[in-house]
Amino acid sequence: MSKRTILVVDDDIDLVEIIRVTLEHAGYEVIDAQTGARGLDLARERSPDMIILDVMMGEVDEGFQVAYQLRQGDDTRDIPIVMLTAVADQTGFKFDPDKDSDFLPVNEFLEKPISPRQLLDVVRKNLPTTI
């Protein structure tokens, strides 16, 4: 059985490395991009099993834009997306997938910082164990 691939799209190199170490230690392959445009390209080229996506990169809402574009693509619409942000803590935004999926088409919305245990729990919840 081949490793499941997770694409991490975030401009915070240190956070990407923490996520990489956590996920690789758990047996996942990790690929990364520091911009939304590169993340879209990698999603289309590599068809990852999951995408972990930051909200704020070059643009304040870049992650939202990427999520919408991923959901529009025939080859990317079903890839689980976990969105990470530090913005919700400052704005009081709370994501409810049942109510907010039209506004924000992601599977999970998590606050930074995220613990390795929480990250793995969310990945396992949204990524079936069988291929």
Question: Using one digit for the tens of pLDDT, what is the confidence trace for 22-37?
Answer: 999 999 999 999 999 9
- Looking at the DSSP bridge assignments, the partners of residue 111 are 85
pTM of the model: 0.85
Domain 5-125 annotated CATH 3.40.50.300: no
pLDDT in tens, 73-127: 999 999 999 998 876 444 444 545 455 455 567 888 888 888 999 999 999 999 8
Comparing CA positions, the residue from 131, 127, 96, 90 lying closest to residue 112 is: 90
Contact 36, 66 (CB under 8 A): yes
Comparing CA positions, the residue from 73, 70, 62, 57 lying closest to residue 106 is: 70
**Quick one: pLDDT at residue 113?**
85
pLDDT at 131 over 60: no
Every domain of the chain and the residues it spans: 5-125
